[in-house]
């Protein structure tokens, strides 16, 4: 089983909450693979927007 540090988890929660305006509880409800995918997609969108 993969475990994350509390600091890393909060970084992910704040990142998703900031960009998608989701509540902390909503982000914490995501399983890690889903949360990781959301983070990946936010990053991809930000990269694409910065290149336009």
CB burial class (10 A; 0-12, 13-18, 19+) of residue 15?
middle
User: Tell me: the pLDDT tens digits for 16-42?
Assistant: 999 999 999 999 999 999 999 999 999
- The confidence band for 6, taking pLDDT boundaries of 50, 70 and 90, is confident
Residue spans per domain, the chain: 23-52
Give the contacts of 10 (CB within 8 A, at least 6 positions apart): none
Q: Is the pLDDT score of 1 beyond 60? A: no
Residue 31: the pLDDT is 93
- The confidence band for 4, taking pLDDT boundaries of 50, 70 and 90, is confident
3-state secondary structure 1-52: CCCCCHHHHHHHHHHHHHHHCCCHHHHHHCCHHHHHHHHHHHHHHHHHHHHC
The residue with greater pLDDT, 2 or 18, is 18
């Amino acid at each position: 089983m993969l475990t994350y540090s509390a600091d890393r988890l909060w970084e992910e929660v704040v990142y998703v909450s900031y960009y998608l305006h989701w509540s902390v509880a909503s982000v914490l409800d995501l399983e890690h693979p889903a949360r990781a995918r959301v983070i990946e997609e936010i990053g991809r969108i930000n990269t694409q927007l910065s290149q336009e």
